[in-house]
Amino acid sequence: MRALLAFFLLVASAAPGWAAGPLTYNLKPVAIAPDTWVFEGTREHFTRTNGGNILNPGFIVTDDGVIVIQTGPSRRFGEEMRAAIAAVTDKPIRKVFVSNLHPDYWLGNRAFADVPIAALPGTIEGIKSEGQGMTENMYRLVGDWMRGTEPLVPTETVYGSTVVFGTHRLRLIPLEGHTAADLAILDETTGVLFAGGVVFSDRTPTTPHADIGQWLAALDALDALEVTVLVPNHGRIRSDKAAIVQTRDWLSWLDRTLRERAEAGADMAELLDAPIPERFAGMGVLREEYRRSVSHLWPRIEKAVLPRVN
């Protein structure tokens, strides 16, 4: 009897998502500034437990309707976002912005198919060419959470500009470095910066489409802005610019370390377990993202230190 009870307790407590019935992200918007909410994701990698909920999508309620920033990793996520937004306001969704081509930013698009979905030209091109492959990989990584998710390419092209919705002036800032096209959005009315993929906060940066030099320049551009709240797309939301400093520190260390080791004759495999300075220990997914970055960045760095010999 006791064993049976223990079994039921185990089922009830250890497996919140799947044992309790249909999968749910249980999204709860957090108010971070006037009219502005964020759904805070975990600081993990995509797993079958978190369903891909690793991003900080948000929304701004304006007199001209709701502005949504990123739609999350799956159709289910987008639908849950939409329901959570409807619980906060009865205003219609006015427009969606997608900051870059990585799958967790836009795979919830299907839930917003009835409104304009805006992105930079480079993001749209990237989703057209790589979107299907990234979607398939997400099914592999998080499984059933993805059910019903199909790529939906953003429908509206935006460029660097300032757009006004109700009383909110949004500055659209085109950057590059994290990917070939990274959109940051500064709400000049509240001072909230949705930094896009360029800033990570206590979560190790991801580099599959990165150009480190351009990325460092993009961080400088964001550092120059007047910001009250900084929403990194992964990790802790902050009222200072410490996340910009941390992202710059990590990228500089990573780039320098790979170059130094390549120059000294190291092989790529030897970099996988290389020591990482203690100051980065608080960043989520540290060793795993570091290893991914070695895979992304090493081949080009290596080529530069091997001279032509025939």
Residues that bind other proteins (CB under 8 A): 137, 140, 208, 264-265, 267-270, 272-273, 288, 291-292, 294-296, 298-299, 302-303, 305-310
Smallest distance, other proteins to C-beta of residue 210, A: 13
Least distance (Å) between residue 246 CB and other proteins: 23
What is the C-alpha separation between 245 and 191, in angstroms, rounded? 19
Our CB check for other proteins shows the closer of 187 and 289 to be: 289
Read off φ and ψ for residue 49, nearest 5 degrees: -85, -45
How many CA atoms within 13 Å lie on the side-chain side of 125?
7
CB of 130 to other proteins, least distance (A): 13
Contact between 159 and 201 under an 8 Å Cβ cutoff? The reply is: no
Q: Of the two residues 5 and 264, which places its CB atom closer to other proteins in the complex?
A: 264
Which CB, 59 or 290, lies closer to other proteins?
290
User: How far, in Å, CA of 102 to CA of 189, rounded?
Assistant: 28
Farthest CA pair distance, the chain: 77
CA nearest neighbour of 104 among 82, 130, 72, 138 = 72
> Between residues 221 and 266, which has the closer beta carbon with respect to other proteins?
266
**Shortest CB 271 distance to other proteins, Å:** 8
CB of 183 to other proteins, least distance (A): 25
Task: Give the angle subtended at the CA of 246 by the CAs of 74 and 27, to the nearest 5°.
Answer: 25
In degrees to the nearest 10, what's the CA dihedral of 137, 54, 205, 152?
Answer: 50
Q: Which two tokens stand for residue 310?
A: 């025939």
Nearest to other proteins of 56, 257 (CB atom):
257
Per DSSP, the three-state class of 15 is coil
231 versus 258: smaller Cβ distance to other proteins: 258
Q: Residue 119 and residue 96: Cα distance in Å, rounded? A: 9
Q: Measured from the CB of residue 254, what is the shortest distance to other proteins in angstroms?
A: 15
Q: Which is nearer to other proteins, 275 or 307 (CB)?
A: 307
Long-range contacts of 126-135 (CB under 8 A, 24+ apart): 126/100, 126/101, 126/179, 126/180, 126/181, 126/209, 127/101, 127/151, 127/153, 127/154, 128/153, 130/101, 131/101, 131/103, 131/106, 134/101, 134/102, 134/103, 135/103, 135/107
For other proteins, give the closer residue by CB, 48 or 169: 48
User: What are the distances in angstroms from CA 145 to CA 17, 76, 110?
Assistant: 10, 7, 14
Cβ closest to other proteins, residue 84 vs residue 266: 266
Considering the complex, what minimum distance in angstroms separates the CB of residue 295 from other proteins? 4
- Closest contact distance (angstroms) between CB of 265 and other proteins is 4
Considering the complex, what minimum distance in angstroms separates the CB of residue 262 from other proteins? 9
